[in-house]
Amino acid sequence: MVRAPGLLAALLALGLALALALRRAGAADCGALGPAERLAFAPAANARWLAPRVRAPGPLDPLYGTVRRFLAVVQLKPFPAELIKALLNEPSSVKADEVVRYEAGYVVCAVITGLYLLVVPTAGLCFCCCRCRRRCGGRVKMEHKTMACERGTLVGFLLLTTLVLLVGVVTAFVTNQRTHEQMGPSAKALPETLLSLRGLVSDVPQELQAVAQQFSLPQEQVLEELDGVSRSIGNVIHTQLKSTVYEVLASVLSLGQALQVSVDHLRALNATSVELQEGQQALAPAVQRHREHLLALLQEPGCRGCAEALDRAHALELGADFSQVPSVDDALYRLKGVPEANFSSMVQEENSTFNALPALATLQTADVIRELKKVVAQQPRELRTLVEEFPGWEAASRWSQALEEMEQSSRPYLKEVQRYEKYRWIVGCVLCSVVLLVVVCNLLGLNLGIWGLCKREDPSHSEAKGEAGARFLMVGVGFGFLFAAPLILLAFTTFLLGGNVQTLVCRSWESGELYEFADTPGNLPSSMNLSQLLGLKKNLSVLLAYQQCKQGAALWTVLQLNDSYDLEKHLDISQYTAKLQQELQKLKVDVKNLDLLSPAARQDLEALQSSGLESIHYPGFLVEIQKPVVNISVEKLAQELEGLSQTQGNTVLGQQLQKEAQGLRNLHQEKLLLQQRLVAKLNLSVHALASSAPLLQLETSDVLDRVTHLKGELPTWATRILKNESECFLTREMGYFSQYVAWVREEVTQRIATCQPLSTALDNGRVILCDMVADPWNAFWFCLGWCTFFLIPSIIFAVKTSKYFRPIRKRLSSTSSEETQLFHIPRVTSLKL
């Protein structure tokens, strides 16, 4: 009756494991067999991805931002949708005043340019006439008190203006060169982009054929797995049962090891008990002799301080009595010769027998596998017509032809663009060189003039340097007047073109207004309507198409081809499922009986079960173990006797006490330590048996019952698992064909003829036109205009400053002039010169 709860728990656990396994099998949980492997299909779509162009950040970016903000101020109005609509549909209806109102900012700039062209050349002509008559640009007639201040102020303003011109002309040189460098690659990028776009639809038939041909990939994979399906199903059966079988075998092995350990402890307990009893018989007389001798010595009248030692000597007696421990002879007799079986070898052999299930399945299913291969080798008829019935690509062909024509016609135009850009670059370099020449003249004039002022002590040299400085300044003035008109004309011409490109095209392109304009019905003429050009039944949203293409969508999605072609009809392979399922139902595997416990091992376990190991009275051992071998510490008593021997007045008594202490030490080393080690060994065996014996009996009963139950249920479980795993194998093989169908669907609808190059081409076009060309172009005219307008203060300050660098012919009569003292000018008369 004691075994009933343990047995019930073991059977419940085993039954629960079986129920869970069968439930998983019934629910077609194919985790043990595993899902279909991922097939690596070769991409059928040709890689036609355009690399996105991005302008790298550079030191000119702040200048580009400044120019854009300036153009935003010049053109405050939004994108002129109505004006562009009228221009595209009815150009004759466009009124000039509407264009002028939209271009109001540019008109203001044109007026300023006209005033510049009128005023600056006229002022230059007048200045030239005045110079010819020596009425302007002369010299200071006489010194006066504020001359130094005026001269310093003019020099400072001229120097500041010259530095501004220098910064502007250097930046103009850089932007002019940057524009020229970007124009060539940008012009070459257009035909390359058109060529890439042509490839969107040119390879579609070949790509579809490649898709159909890759049906062989899942076929080959299934045929390869059919070669090992028998072993695979055997492995599945083995996997489903191994947790239960291995658990039982592990319990058997663990119980066999525990049996060996318990028997060893029992034998050690018995042997140690015998040794302790023998040691106790030898130890008792020796302890008694030492006790009697000590009592006689310590009770002598002449023994000083011996009262405490006398008390200890009275307690010098044996403590534990190992003759009182229980006997284990009956348990030893029942376990004689146990274990007879080698549990480790037996479990290894049973594991090998159980692991041979896959090989057994291979032999029994060979004929069924041959029939399955014949079914798989066939190809569905629907897949063969995938390419034949695919809708025509007439619209796409027209698009490809149009792109080809655009590519051919763009090449001569681009060559002309490059030629005119070369002319613009040369003119820009020449005019920037003129501005740089003005800067050089100003700097030379300032250096020579200031040098001449500092050397007024030497009249002959100072006047020559000052005169030369003034003449350099006037040369700069002459160049400024002479080239002011070409500079302002070049600046305004490039400004008008580049500014409108930025405000009308780039700004609306970047914000998406161009796409919205193209999507609005009626804005574009029928000849530019994308839906009509492609022959689509529905209107195509340019913005939506651009967004889809940017995300990598294929033309299938963008052009909505699903309305004209039933792709799912050609991807139906249901005929495979029925045939394969019919053949798989013929699979059968017979599982032989599996002996989980050998007869010898069973006899060992039954002997342990009836040995009464748990009935031994272990507390009886523990009572004696807890007692000391001797009631007092012999070592401490010996130390105390040595101390007493030193304090005795009687030499003979002291020597006897010393001799007795040595005798106690010898007793401790020779007998007491050995006895204590045996007690520790006995304690280890007793505790091990006391804690394991009750559980060992329950575990033995549990293992014997589980082995018996499992041995009877294994064939039934194997049959049920085989049926479930056959269905799992069918699902796995169908997974390969499902992967192919999903891959075909994805290739046709998402990858073949992807229009990502179209969106990238549009983005690259914006980057090329706006970031790489328009930005440096606009920065060039901005810097050139900057230099052109700063020529005016440069001319004014140069003319004013040149007067102070020329020699003075008359001076004040006062000899205390602060001007003379400040610059150390010698007092020289015109006669002396």
> How many residues appear in the chain?
833
State the Cα angle at 737 between 731 and 739, rounded to 5°. Answer: 100
- Is 80 exceeded by the pLDDT of residue 517? yes
The answer for 137, left when phi > 0, alpha when psi is -120 to 50, beta otherwise, is left
Average pLDDT over residues 526-537: 66
Predicted confidence (pLDDT) per residue in 541-561, tens digit? 788 888 888 887 877 777 777
Predicted confidence (pLDDT) per residue in 92-142, tens digit? 777 888 888 888 889 999 999 999 989 888 888 888 787 676 666 555 555
Predicted confidence (pLDDT) per residue in 258-300, tens digit? 878 877 787 777 777 777 777 777 676 767 677 667 776 776 7
Residue among 481, 467, 472, 469 nearest 434 (CA): 481
The full 3-state SS of 711-772, as one line of letters, equals HHHHHHHHHHHHHHHHHHHHHHHHHHHHHHHHHHHHHHHHHCCECHHHHHHHHHHHHHHHHH
Alpha carbon distance 558, 225 (integer Å): 40
Query: Which residues touch 337 (CB under 8 Å, ≥6 apart)?
Result: none
Alpha carbon distance 630, 673 (integer Å): 11
Q: What's the gap between Cα 597 and its chain centre?
A: 55
Q: What percent of the chain has pLDDT over 70?
A: 76
- Is 90 exceeded by the pLDDT of residue 208? no
Q: Mean pLDDT over all residues of the chain?
A: 76
- Following DSSP, what letter does each residue of 82-113 receive, concatenated? HHHHHHHH-GGG--HHHHHHHTHHHHHHHHHH
> 797-811 burial, b for 16+ CB within 10 Å, e for fewer?
bbbbbbbbbbbbeeb
Alpha carbon distance 576, 381 (integer Å): 11
Predicted confidence (pLDDT) per residue in 387-444, tens digit? 666 665 555 566 677 777 777 777 888 888 888 888 889 998 999 999 999 899 988 8
Q: What is the DSSP letter of 54?
A: -
Q: What is the DSSP letter of 322?
A: G
Alpha carbon distance 767, 606 (integer Å): 90
Any long-range contacts for 563-569 (C-beta under 8 Å, 24+ apart)? Answer: 563/537, 564/391, 565/389, 565/390, 565/391, 567/745, 567/748, 567/749, 569/382
Alpha carbon distance 226, 355 (integer Å): 21
Alpha carbon distance 768, 785 (integer Å): 24
Highest mean pLDDT among 255-259, 317-321, 400-404, 575-579: 255-259
Q: What does the pLDDT read at residue 814?
A: 40
Radius of gyration of the chain (CA): 56
pLDDT-derived band at 237 (thresholds 50, 70, 90) equals confident
Alpha carbon distance 546, 553 (integer Å): 10
Query: Which residues touch 182 (CB under 8 Å, ≥6 apart)?
Result: 768, 772, 773, 776
- Following DSSP, what letter does each residue of 617-629 receive, concatenated? -HHHHHHHHHS-S
Q: What does the pLDDT read at residue 215?
A: 83
Q: What are phi and psi of 829, to 5 degrees?
A: -100, 165
Which amino acid is residue 348, in one-letter code?
Q
**Tokens for 407?**
């590519």
Q: What is the DSSP letter of 774?
A: I
CB of 533 closer than 8 Å to CB of 398: yes
Alpha carbon distance 778, 176 (integer Å): 10
Q: What does the pLDDT read at residue 3?
A: 41
> What pTM did the predictor assign?
0.57
> 555-589 burial, b for 16+ CB within 10 Å, e for fewer?
bbbbbebeeeeebeebbebeebeeebeebbeebeb
The answer for 581, left when phi > 0, alpha when psi is -120 to 50, beta otherwise, is alpha
- Following DSSP, what letter does each residue of 529-540 receive, concatenated? -HHHHHT-SSPP
Alpha carbon distance 529, 635 (integer Å): 115
Alpha carbon distance 766, 744 (integer Å): 35
